[in-house]
């Protein structure tokens, strides 16, 4: 049986949760040799290294150490270094038969471009998702990656519809489910044992978790202050836990908004401003929250799988099933809409949702079966 060597590329925090179950699934096949390549797009240990420990992922076989920069700089460095790795092959002289990329970060698109320019076929996991908002860098990354990939693994039916409409042959499209949920379900028992809410003195099921990092929410003082003011208000009734992304913390300091986190004017401090957390610590928090407030795509999916209300601080989403079937509601950057939805949650009037089909913890196994057959 001919051995197939697959380059499995990760670069940023969301990639790790998606690639971990895929690596486990691929190792079940003796004819597949996965090689893990980390671009180093996220270089902060709390946004990268800790995830390898939490997810029980092997250390990367190759680390490109590209670091930060503008989108163009980062993409260019990844392209250059990925090309070198793909041309060189493995240390024992094997060439790569396929490159597997996940998600929609710069590493995803750049690795796909480097591979296809060298004639190496590309598989894209989480293909077909579209927000139809090209002001989002991730949307460009998704479109470009899907355009060059010949194997498209899709997490929800809207992705299939989008790819068919864009002209992709149906035999290249595979609706397999959501690998993010594979990781969530596998690690949920361990996460609950971590006991993050208890460590922080939070009542289980009676607090909010917040994440904000998108430029549209954090790069403008008026927008960010409006959102933080609502959080400060609701914190008088419901404790708010806010693990703050480095980018967001910098903006809060630059705009002089730190007083809103300190609870001034609310009578008492009820906002827990934390550094970024590891996956298990964070899942321990989100899985036992009353409500999640976020602009993260992955958290929309996880909240839906957990059955926890999710107020999505975006005007659109590339994951519409989390709104139509799940627990997410789009509130945009509108503090009034956010406040109204929080009132609905606190009053027990918020909608219930269901977990979509194929979000069952076995998506990576289905991917492995398809890759093993090619």
DSSP string, 84-133: HHHHH--TTSPPPSEEEEESSSHHHHHHHHHHHHTT--EEEETTT---S-
Characterize 107-127 residue by residue with b for buried, 16 or more Cβ atoms within 10 angstroms of its Cβ, and e for exposed.
Answer: bbbbbbbbbbeeebbbbbbbb
Instruction: Write down the mean pLDDT value for the chain.
Output: 93
- CA separation for the pair 130, 114 (Å, rounded): 23
Residue 82 lies in a domain: yes
pLDDT of residue 58: 86
Domain co-membership, 166 together with 193: no
List Cα–Cα distances, 128 to 17, 67, 79, 134, 154, in angstroms.
19, 28, 23, 14, 6
Residue 92 lies in a domain: yes
Range of the domain at 153: 4-178+359-373
pLDDT of residue 44: 57
Domain co-membership, 171 together with 225: no
Catalytic residue flag (residue 63): no
Over range 273-290, report the average pLDDT: 94
Domain co-membership, 156 together with 47: yes
pLDDT of residue 312: 98
Domain co-membership, 78 together with 192: no
Q: What is the pTM of this model?
A: 0.93
pLDDT of residue 43: 57
Over range 227-251, report the average pLDDT: 93
What's the gap between Cα 255 and its chain centre? Answer: 27
pLDDT per residue as tens digits for the range 101-121: 999 999 999 999 999 999 999
pLDDT at 266 over 70: no
pLDDT at 308 over 90: yes
pLDDT of residue 268: 54
Domain co-membership, 199 together with 340: yes
| 262: confidence class by pLDDT, cuts 50, 70, 90 | confident
pLDDT per residue as tens digits for the range 38-61: 998 765 555 456 677 888 888 899
Over range 167-176, report the average pLDDT: 98
pLDDT of residue 265: 41
Over range 71-89, report the average pLDDT: 96
Domain co-membership, 154 together with 221: no
Over range 256-274, report the average pLDDT: 74
How many residues are present in the chain? 374
Q: What percent of the chain has pLDDT over 90?
A: 85
Residues 6 or more apart whose Cβ sits within 8 Å of residue 354: 325, 326
Nearest CA to 13 out of 279, 218, 359 is that of: 279
pLDDT of residue 267: 45
pLDDT of residue 364: 98
pLDDT of residue 263: 56
Residue 353 lies in a domain: no
Residue 351 lies in a domain: no
Domain co-membership, 157 together with 26: yes
Of these residues, 38, 124, 213, 250, which one is catalytic?
A: 213
Residue 352 lies in a domain: no
pLDDT per residue as tens digits for the range 8-38: 999 988 899 999 999 999 999 999 999 999 9
| 76: confidence class by pLDDT, cuts 50, 70, 90 | very high
CATH of the domain at 305: 3.40.50.2000
Residue 285 lies in a domain: yes
Residue 354 lies in a domain: no
DSSP string, 63-89: E-------HHHHHHHHHHHHHHHHHH-
Give the count of domains, the chain. Answer: 2
Over range 253-278, report the average pLDDT: 79
Domain co-membership, 171 together with 226: no
Characterize 40-67 residue by residue with b for buried, 16 or more Cβ atoms within 10 angstroms of its Cβ, and e for exposed.
Answer: bbbbeebbbebbbebbebeebebebebe
- CA separation for the pair 162, 251 (Å, rounded): 35
pLDDT of residue 49: 63
Domain co-membership, 165 together with 111: yes
- CA separation for the pair 106, 318 (Å, rounded): 17
Domain co-membership, 113 together with 162: yes
Residue 257 lies in a domain: yes
Domain co-membership, 174 together with 190: no
Domain co-membership, 45 together with 114: yes
């Amino acid at each position: 049986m001919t051995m197939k060597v697959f380059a499995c590329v990760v670069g940023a925090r969301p990639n790790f949760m998606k690639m971990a179950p895929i690596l486990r699934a691929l190792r079940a096949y003796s004819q597949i040799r996965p090689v893990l390549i980390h671009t180093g797009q996220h270089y902060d240990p709390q946004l990268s290294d800790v995830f390898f420990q939490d997810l029980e992922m092997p250390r990367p076989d190759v680390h490109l150490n590209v670091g930060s920069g503008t989108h163009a700089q980062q993409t260019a460095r990844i392209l250059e270094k990925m090309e070198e790795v793909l041309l060189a092959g493995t240390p024992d002289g094997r060439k790569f038969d396929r490159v597997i990329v996940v998600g929609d970060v710069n590493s995803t698109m750049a690795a796909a471009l480097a591979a296809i320019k060298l004639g190496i076929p590309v598989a894209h996991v989480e293909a077909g998702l579209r927000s139809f908002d090209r002001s989002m860098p991730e949307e460009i990354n998704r479109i470009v990656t899907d355009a060059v990939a010949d194997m498209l693994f899709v997490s929800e039916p809207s992705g299939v519809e989008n790819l068919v409409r864009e002209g992709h042959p149906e035999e290249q499209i595979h609706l397999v489910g959501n690998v993010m949920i594979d990781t969530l379900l596998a690690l949920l028992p361990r996460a609950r044992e971590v006991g993050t809410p208890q460590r922080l003195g939070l009542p289980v099921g009676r607090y909010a978790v917040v994440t904000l990092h998108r430029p549209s929410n954090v790069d403008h003082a008026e927008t960010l202050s409006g959102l933080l003011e609502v959080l400060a208000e609701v914190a008088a009734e419901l404790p708010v836990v806010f693990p703050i992304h480095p980018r967001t913390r910098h903006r809060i300091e630059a705009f002089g908004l730190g007083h809103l986190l300190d609870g001034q004017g609310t009578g008492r401090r009820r906002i827990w401003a934390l550094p970024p957390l590891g996956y298990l610590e964070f899942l321990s928090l989100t899985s036992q929250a009353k409500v999640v407030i976020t602009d993260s795509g992955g958290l929309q999916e996880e909240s839906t799988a957990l059955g926890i209300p999710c107020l999505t601080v975006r005007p659109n989403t590339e994951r519409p099933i989390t709104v139509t079937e799940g627990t997410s509601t789009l509130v945009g950057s509108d503090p009034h809409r956010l406040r109204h939805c929080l009132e609905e949650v606190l009053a027990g009037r918020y909608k219930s949702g269901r977990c979509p089909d194929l979000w069952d913890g076995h998506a990576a196994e289905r991917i492995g079966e398809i890759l093993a057959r090619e």
